[in-house]
Structure 1
Amino acid sequence: MTNANTPIRVAVIGTSVISASFAEAVAAATGIRIEAVYSRDADRAAEAATEFGADWSSDSLDEVLGSPLIDAVYIASPNSVHAEQVAAAITAGKHVLVEKPAVLTAQEWRDLVAQAQDAGVVLLEAMRTEYDPGTALVRSLLPQLGTLRLASLRYAKRSSRYDLVLAGERVNMFDPALGGGALADLGVYCLHAMVGYFGMLDRLSTAVVPVPSGVEGAGTITASYPGLIVDLSYSKISTTQLASEIQGEDATLVIDEIAAPRVVELTHRDGTVTRHEVPGDPHPLAGEIDRFVALIAAGEDPSAEQLLTAQTLELIERARATTT
């Protein structure tokens, strides 16, 4: 398979925009390279392989997973097929980095984690929020806020494909049969950040704005912790101009972007403001790729991250079950 001097050879499953972004980040990373691209459309697979700098392509997933030239897979296919593709990759002895949301239910994820452990391969959700240096910056500043009381986490960006939905066309990211919807696509960043910052919650309530396909186009979640209330808002049919915010009794933290913080301002009770910036211009997917490589190379334990994924998936299920 791999050793310390050999890059991890990855097959990309799926040819969407996020796959192109992944390829861009891999090109700047060390210890990993894209070997192949899979798509059900052979022409699209070949085209993407050229675009991503891969050596070969295929329209046969069995061929890709059976190849000794592949050490790992990056799965960026529709949400509804993640679970079966992850399971097939693990069975083939491949490490797996799977786009968020990793699967549709927390139990599916727990089962796959157990399967990966038995097979001795790494399974990691490609949740960029967890591995972004801006997230680490926010986490380091939280103690300065004192007792936390209120937080507002937001991710709302109108999809360029929403017009197709309004025109009556079928669009993957808005298709309930494919596990689409704004909660799974954008709201998941808010949920994951919330659990990462504050832990698992006591209660939640939700409200959504559905689109014609039946999934949520926008929505809100109110989460209750002992002494702390967190409101989350997300949308793929409108765009927010507001930052996210965490309020404590001693200070308030304003975060420019919840999925990839770059500028964070800390306002103390006396009115003084401290501005913190993430240095450089890190690629938003660089952190997850570096972590994936490190887990494979060093044989580290990803169980804490896998638990956070399970908790986030559980909250998506709970939110949808309590939708009003």
Structure 2
Amino acid sequence: MLRFASIGTSSIVELFAEAARQVDEVSYVAAYSRDLTRATAFGGPHGARPFTDLGALADAQDIDAVYIASPNALHHEQAVRLLRAGKHVLVEKSAAANAGEWLDLLRIAESNGVALLESVRSVHEPMWRSVESYMESLGTVRQVNLQMCQRSRRYDNYLAGKVENIFKPEMAAGALMDLGVYCLHPLMTLFGLPSRVRASSVKLANGIDANTTLLLDYPAFTATVACSKVSANAAWSVIAGEDASLEMDAVDNPQALRVWWAHSKSHEDLVLDKSQPQQAHVLRAFARMAEQPSLARPHQQATLDALTVMDEARRQTGVRFPSDPDITEHH
């Protein structure tokens, strides 16, 4: 039984706690927040005891793993402390502010023999096996269009002058980091790093990207990635090959998958298993990785590749975070 603590009290942590109830391999035992009242109020209904000191959480002998769902900019510092204390770490996306931070975490996890995983939920649910199983049937892939565009509920607060963490560059936030990663992680999992990255962003007054579009070159095809925090788009994402195309209604949590056959001009709607929440599948996978940390390596590589692409995209568009290394712009 993997005994989990959480960092953060947002709605996504509530989903984590609810999923943990459905997974026999884990138990949710502790909730961390800098505010005791908030930690108690969040953890109490789940039977999780409150923590307000990260060092005490790291040193607790009855906690095996920690789910980090704090702002992106805090992930590295918190994960370093926990990994060095021998805790397995499941970290919400984006896993780090840049590729350099992620490489640092990988080294620490390796040296301490613990599991480290970014919680990109789509690639751990049964749906993903359907995607992988149909890739060969598509023939030579010629085009990939992935999009994640949803207007943030907090955008109205931004417009009213109240800037929350998910709209702060100092928190390593923005459309690319918060939503583009949903597209990039599966893309990197399937195809690896592109040979060329071209990026364009529309930025808000504080320098954060409100929406970003990427054009990514591969030997046989070009991929586009579009993400936005200020506008919604219900268009399906597609992987198009010479023989067939695979479409999904939402890249982060597909409810529908469809295969279009190019020669017969017919389609097939795939049946998806949605009997359990995505996070439950992540927790089961992570429990196995805690026993054998090397199982996480393909996912760790996809995270590194995605962060590498995002670093280059931000370099091109001038979106900078405090933890970014000094770089010289070139054209």
Band of TM-score, shorter chain: over 0.9
Q: Which residue number in structure 1 is paired with residue 195 of structure 2?
A: 202
Whether the 8 Å contact between 2:114 and 2:293 is mirrored in structure 1 is no
Aligned equivalent of 1:220, options 213, 218, 221 = 213
Residue identity matched to 2:73:
S
- Matches of 2:52 and 2:182, distance apart in 1: 31
Please list, as runs of the form range in 1=range in 2, the aligned pairs for 1:167-186 lying within 5 A after superposition. 167-186=160-179
TM-score by length of 1: 0.94
Aligned equivalent of 2:96, options 91, 95, 103 = 103
Residue identity matched to 2:254:
P
- Matches of 2:5 and 2:135, distance apart in 1: 38
Aligned equivalent of 1:29, options 17, 23, 44 = 23
After superposition, what is the alpha-carbon deviation per residue over 1:219-239, rounded to whole angstroms, capped at 9, x for unaligned?
A: 211111112011111111111
Q: CA deviation at 1:73?
A: 0.7
Q: Which residue number in structure 2 is paired with residue 241 of structure 1?
A: 234
Aligned equivalent of 1:89, options 82, 87, 98 = 82
Aligned equivalent of 1:166, options 159, 167, 171 = 159
Cα distance, 1:320–1:298 mapped onto 2, change above 3 Å: closer
Q: Which residue number in structure 2 is paired with residue 57 of structure 1?
A: 50
| Number of equivalent positions | 317
**Equivalent pairs: percent with the same residue?**
35
Q: CA deviation at 1:266?
A: 1.0
- Matches of 2:284 and 2:105, distance apart in 1: 22
| Alignment pair present for 1:297 and 2:291 | yes
- Matches of 2:224 and 2:10, distance apart in 1: 31
- Matches of 1:149 and 1:35, distance apart in 2: 47
Residue identity matched to 2:101:
E
Cα distance, 1:22–1:188 mapped onto 2, change above 3 Å: same
Aligned equivalent of 1:282, options 266, 272, 276 = 276
Residue identity matched to 2:197:
L
Q: CA deviation at 1:54?
A: 3.0
TM-score by length of 2: 0.92
SS of the residue aligned with 1:138?
A: helix
Aligned equivalent of 2:250, options 254, 257, 264 = 257
- Matches of 1:296 and 1:247, distance apart in 2: 36
SS of the residue aligned with 2:135?
A: helix
Q: CA deviation at 1:282?
A: 2.8
Please list, as runs of the form range in 1=range in 2, the aligned pairs for 1:92-171 lying within 5 A after superposition. 92-171=85-164
Stretches of structure 2 lacking an aligned partner (at least 5 in a row): 319-331
Q: Which residue number in structure 2 is paired with residue 3 of structure 1?
A: none
